[in-house]
Structure 1
């Protein structure tokens, strides 16, 4: 396979043209690099290289203007806007930037296509006036409509003032540079009468480019080489040749001169395979598989290109490449916005945008846990970042001030000032803090430069970015607050990349579609060939209506689609092996529908297209329940647990899921502590329990009276608030859901006391025996060679009309059926149905063995969400449908329960029975 560039050089050589004297002009700088490489293949002797320029550089030379970035252009335009707009009507820079970027794009298009500015701006103003008169029929226009129309009428004034200011500074945007290049073309020709120009590989040309090339052709100072195939140019409906057909038909130069070149490469035999693959990441993975297969067959990936239709696929593709690739060149840079530092600065901008006095705990943890920040809080003896996080969680802090943070970590006050001391919505302060933060991070990374080469590179690029922000802010003074600065920061960040280092002329090439211009490869893999990506489809990011664009010969979505059609088919022209990948998933806007390019290829009938749908190999993973065997060490720890005492909650935890019991009791893994923004159910339960303990503990051994309980009601608010402060720490219960939960806690306590009062008024006699009674008893298990204890705290034991009651409080909802049992063997197997019964019976067993009560007794639950049901007594039934129930807990009851409890403990301590996870 010979490349287009090689063919051009051979043709020039055959005409005995001295290549060293030529100026080559190509669509991109990258194409120029390949041209330089091909020079050595056409001549066998040393010679001076010709001048090789991209079209952008050539036009800049013609115009004598320097191209400036979009962000600085926005600042320059704001100067114009402020100069021509009354102060009271002026938008802030942040608001201005949102519409001004669209207008600048329109300026750019108007200039690149050499449209008379006054004509099109007057046209736009007239259209807008007609629209407003149509929709607003009032004779007296509102101020809003007047200002709206005034804006459109001012467009010529904005344009003239703006461009004149740029020209005075010898700078410009692309369109202005093109317009000035056309104006300076005559002078350029006079100064370079003998320079021969060779334009090669162009397709879609704007009016300025067309004028420049045609003028140089007319003056015999240029040659132009097109790269189009006979198949496309002969088909009047094929968009791959849309622009080339226009050039061939409309340029007077081709009336007498040959049209170089129309080739016949596309119809040559090709291996074209189309793969439908679910998800973008699936395409990346399959690219890796394809490359491995190609390398195994060809032993090399030279002359192979991976062209990414969706450039967001770059990082997944790089991660999927085979490890044995020796030479690789990536033409696209790594987006700076994907670097970890970007998330840090994005978080800082976001939390300071509203000029806060306090900071949300998740934002604080996110910042100080960041990989670049965490080390800055650490000293040889202190880990202040962990200290802050632990303090937040322990004290349930939802919002903190910078002062509080400095009090927690006094030795890190400097970095806390940089990160959290109020930025006062001041752009100079923000930029100063960000620059200082970069220096602090650099100081840490410099301690081991070898290990931190890549992070230092990241830091260097962000330092450049903030230096540019500082320069723009100092030069233009338009950024007035953090929100505006954040917008400019994001604008700069989106355009910055971290360039890869690779072999530009060797091995595998990974590139975007536009970077493939003029280049040819034997093997091409194209990904993301979906509608909405290739081609990108209808989009109109412009103030100029569609019909006005047609009238003035400005490009619309049809022309933009034709550009991508040309690039796509040009990649196929000389290729021998083509692999086209598209996303089959319809869960995204640009997924599911294959590109029209694929359909067109299939309907052309020129090539035999092999189309496959690739499904990822998903192994059938059989879920295996986790199982932990009991070794000597586990048994030793179980003996210690038994010696300390099994609590009813730990035993029901084992019934629910033995693996949880293993984690908590054997491994001693505590539950994860996190900040409670909203009061959790267990916190509410603790507050209610503690409040009732405070109320009833002093009444142990006394009979209750209506007066005593009425007096308790007076202290509900104070006591509940006290326990919320104690349990919920510094969490706020004065607003929102927490205030509602606080009121619910008070209502629970109040309703309970009202229930107590109603019982007393009905003539019932209630004597408090014990409140929150701690019990630890030895439980006899003869089969074990070590002691076993039971331990637990009973919420309340009282005497109700002569019957002893063991009461457990539940703030959740419990029904009578939850404390009833039919078969004793079920009580240690079915957690969901019998855990409540198990718990109250364990309390009864402990209290009976400790001698605090005498059988028979009643045991049960008072549910605060079901208070109307009163005391829910444990009951034993002969069968599920039986209406007769035995509520009294007798010696037989205790013996039957003890037998099941013993079996459970023996199972826990049995070395041959592993801790096996249950399916929940």
Structure 2
């Protein structure tokens, strides 16, 4: 492949150009490296290197102004805004900055295209008055109407004063620099002696650039080389040639001079593959596979480029590149906002945006768990941040004060102070605290410097960012709160990058679309070729309406689309192996359907395009349930557990899923405990149980009376509050959902006591026998030679009109059919239907074996979500579908249950029966 830059150098050699006297002007700095390499390859003698400038650098030399960055421009503009806006209409800086960015872009476009500011601003003002004519003619205009119309009146004044102020300070935005360059052009030409300017690879030029280049051409101190294929220029409707066709026909210079040049590379044979891949990550993973294939064909991947249509995919791409690819050069920098340290400072800003004295626990944990913060809390034996996080979770602390955090931190309280002490909504304090934090982080990272080089580089870049913020804060008085500072921080971070080191001319090249200008590659991999990305499509972030832009020859989205069209086709011109990848499943934020560029390639039929759709390989795998064989260690653990006691909940947990029983009871794995922001159902159940235990335990052996119940009712508030504090610890129940749950707990208990009162008033006698009585019963099972203990607490045992009842409280809803059984074999196999029957029968069995009750008895459930059903009795049905059932538990009932119970425990302890996961 012969590159465009190679053709330019060869042509200049034919013309016997003195390279030492040339100044090359390129669309971007990036192309300068490749140009310098081409010059060194073609010249066989030592010379002084020619100057190589980007177009922005060249224009800057013509004007006496320096480019100001976006943040600096905002502050200077705000100074003008304050001086020329009535005090009652002045907006704070953070509000101003939101619309000022757009207005600055309009100022830039006006100057770049040399539009008369007086004309366009008067025109805009007239349009607004016509649009809102009924406003402008009203005699009694509201303050809002007056402010709105006066804003448009002041735009011309803003522009003039802002431009004058920048010129006075020898600074400017791009358009102003270009405008000043035009003013100085004649003087610049007069000072040129032997120097010649060579403009290379330009396409879309603004009005200022056109005038400057044309004037230099007319004065014979410049030449220009266009990089365009003849087929795009000849085709009068092809957008790739839109601008160059206009230059060729409208520039007087080309009436007498040759047009350098129209190439014919595009029609040469090319291998074009168009690949659709699902989602962004699907595209990038396919690129990784493609690189592996290309590596086998070309050991060095020379003349290969990956051009990212969506530059945010750089990190996923780097993680998808095969390890054996060799040298890689990345033209674009890694945005600072993408690196891990950015999340730390963002978390701090969000925490301190409000001057609250209490911090939400998740915000605290996010900061304390940050990978850069945790080392600050290291001690000889442990890490204090882990201890604080554990205390927050175990004590259900939703909100914390700095004093509480200091107490928890102990010897590391100074670090807590550094992180959480209020910034008082003061930007100076905020920057001081961030600077101190950066210093602390540096001291820790320096202790193991060799392993923390990358983290130290991150830290250095953030130190630069905060130094810049500090300079702005000291220079201007507008950063008057944390919200403004945070907005500036994000704005600066957006433009800061961490640059990669690589071999610019070796191996695989990774770049964005704009970095590809002037450069040519044999193999091109182009990603994210979707509408909304390539091309970017319509965007209207401007105060200047579309029709006004058309009238004043300013660019619209149509011209911007033509720019992307040129870049796309220019990449294809000299390439031989092209891979165009698009997202088959785009969403609203990531572009639309496949790009019109792909459709245009298909319609042109210049090249044979192969289409493929790719998707991740999804192997068909059987869903194998986990199976754990019972080793000698597991059997030993089972023996230990059997001695401590099988509870009804443990046995029903085994019925539900044997693997869950294994994890919890054998391995001792507990569920992760997070902060209970809202009271959990099991916590609510515990509180209800404990409250009723407090009420009924003192009257064991007594007959329940209305007086006793009345005394219980009077204690509801205090007792429920006490148990909420005990179980929910430091969780807040004074507001929100928790307050509702607190009220529900009291409501449940009050309704239960009303139910008891109703029973007594109806003449029923209730004698309390036992409350929360603990049972431990040995059981002999054939084949098991080690002791087996059954254990469990029964919520309540009473005598109701002479019948003994075993009662289990449930805070949830329980239906009658959940405590009925037909076939005894089902009780140890179907958790959903029979777990509650299993529990109450096991309670009855244990109490019978301990001779605490005399058969027959009744057993059942009181459901607090269904108190209207009263005591829901266990029942044994003769057959499925029958309505009649036996609610009395006799010795025969317990013998039948015992058979199933022993069978279940035998299965658990049998070394030949594995723990097998249930497919639930």
- Which range, TM-score by smaller chain? over 0.9
Q: Which residue of 2 aligns with 1:708?
A: 708
Which secondary structure does the structure 2 equivalent of 1:192 belong to?
A: coil
* Cα distance between partner residues in 1 of 2:911 and 2:326: 55
Determine if contact 1:770/1:798 at 8 Å carries over to the other structure: yes
Aligned-partner SS, 1:689: helix
Query: Helix, strand or coil for the counterpart of 1:266?
Result: coil
- Matched with 1:171 is 171
| Equivalent position of 2:616 in the other structure | 616
In the alignment, is the contact (CA less than 8 A) between 1:584 and 1:591 conserved in 2?
Answer: no
SS in 2 for 1:547: helix
The whole-number CA distance in structure 1 between the counterparts of 2:136 and 2:67 is 42
Structure 2 partner of 1:417: 417
Verify: 1:554 aligned to 2:536, yes or no: no
Quick one: distance in 2 between partners of 1:810 and 1:609?
68
Matched residue of 2:140: which SS?
Answer: coil
Question: 1:379: how far off?
Answer: 1.2
Give the distance between the partners of 1:521 and 1:423, measured in 2 at CA. Answer: 53
State whether structure 2 residue 471 is matched by structure 1 residue 464.
no
Superposed displacement of residue 137, structure 1: 6.6
Q: Which residue of 2 aligns with 1:88?
A: 88
The DSSP-based 3-state class of the residue aligned with 1:201 is strand
Structure 1 runs of 4+ with >6 Å offset: none
Q: Deviations over 1:381-402 (max 9, x none)?
A: 3421111111111211100111
Whether contact under 8 Å (1:585, 1:591) holds in the other structure is no
**Closer, same or farther: CA 168–138 of 1 in aligned 2, 3 Å:** closer
1:882 aligns with 2:885: no
Residue 615 of structure 1: how far off its partner (Å): 2.2
Helix, strand or coil at the partner of 2:323: coil
> Residue 846 of structure 1: CA displacement?
0.6
Measure the CA separation in 2 of the matches of 1:299 and 1:388: 53
Choose 524-533 or 613-622, whichever is displaced more. Answer: 613-622
Note if contact 2:331-2:511 (Cα within 8 Å) is conserved in structure 1: yes
Contact map agreement 1:5 1:38 (CA 8 A) in 2: yes
In structure 2, how many angstroms separate the alpha carbons of the residues matched to 1:621 and 1:456? 45
Q: What residue number does 2:447 align with?
A: 447
Q: Secondary structure at the match of 2:885?
A: coil
Q: Is the 8 A contact 2:129 2:136 kept in 1?
A: no
Residue number in structure 1 paired with 2:372:
372
Aligned 8 A contact 2:308 2:511 in 1:
yes
Residue equivalent to 1:728: 728
Taking the aligned partners of 2:236 and 2:216, their CA distance within structure 1 comes to 28
Change (3 A) 1:83 1:761: same
In 2, the alpha carbon distance for the partners of 1:197 and 1:19 equals 10
Q: Which structure 1 segments of 5+ residues have no match? A: none
Deviation at 1:140, TM superposition (A): 2.7
Q: What does 1:731-750 correspond to in 2, within 5 Å?
A: 731-750=731-750
Is 1:542 matched up with 2:547?
no
- The SS at the match of 1:367 is helix
| 1:528 to 2:517 alignment | no
1:31 aligns with 2:31: yes
Cα distance between partner residues in 1 of 2:78 and 2:711 = 72
Q: Report deviation, 1:764.
A: 1.3
2:110 match: 110
> Which string of whole-angstrom CA distances, capped at 9 and with x for unpartnered residues, describes residues 338-388 of structure 1?
111111111111121121110000110011000001111121134211111
SS at match of 2:865: coil
For residues 720-778 of structure 1, the C-alpha deviation after alignment (integer angstroms, 9 at most, x for no partner) is 11111111111111111111111111111111111111111111111111100011010
Q: Map 1:434-833; keep pairs closer than 5 Å.
A: 434-591=434-591, 593-833=593-833
TM-score (normalizing by structure 2):
0.99
Q: CA deviation at 1:191?
A: 1.5
Tell whether the 8 Å contact from 1:344 to 1:370 is kept in structure 2 after alignment.
yes
Deviation at 1:592, TM superposition (A): 5.3
Q: Distance in 1 between matches of 2:580 and 2:460?
A: 38
1:252 and 2:257 aligned: no
Aligned residue in 1 for 2:898: 898
TM-score by length of 1: 0.99
Q: Which moved more, 1:129-138 or 1:332-341?
A: 129-138
SS in structure 2 at match of 1:582? strand
Structure 2 distance, partners of 1:818, 1:325, is 63
**In structure 1, what is the equivalent of residue 266 of structure 2?**
266
Q: Within the alignment, does 1:869 sit opposite 2:869 as a pair?
A: yes
Judge conservation of contact 1:132–1:145 (CA < 8 Å) in 2.
no
Q: Distance in 2 between matches of 1:235 and 1:815?
A: 78
1:98 aligns with 2:117: no
Q: Quick one: structure 1 residues 381 and 300, their matched pair in 2 at CA, closer, same or farther if it must change by over 3 Å?
A: closer
Once the two structures are superposed, what CA deviation does each residue of 1:757-808 show, in whole Å capped at 9, x if it has no partner?
1111111111111100011010111320101000000001111111111110
> Which moved further from structure 2: 287-296 or 202-211?
287-296
Q: Give the secondary structure class of the aligned counterpart of 2:132.
A: helix
Deviation of 1:672 (Å): 1.8
What is the rounded CA distance, in whole Å, between the counterparts of 2:905 and 2:370 in structure 1? 46
Shift of 1:591: 4.6
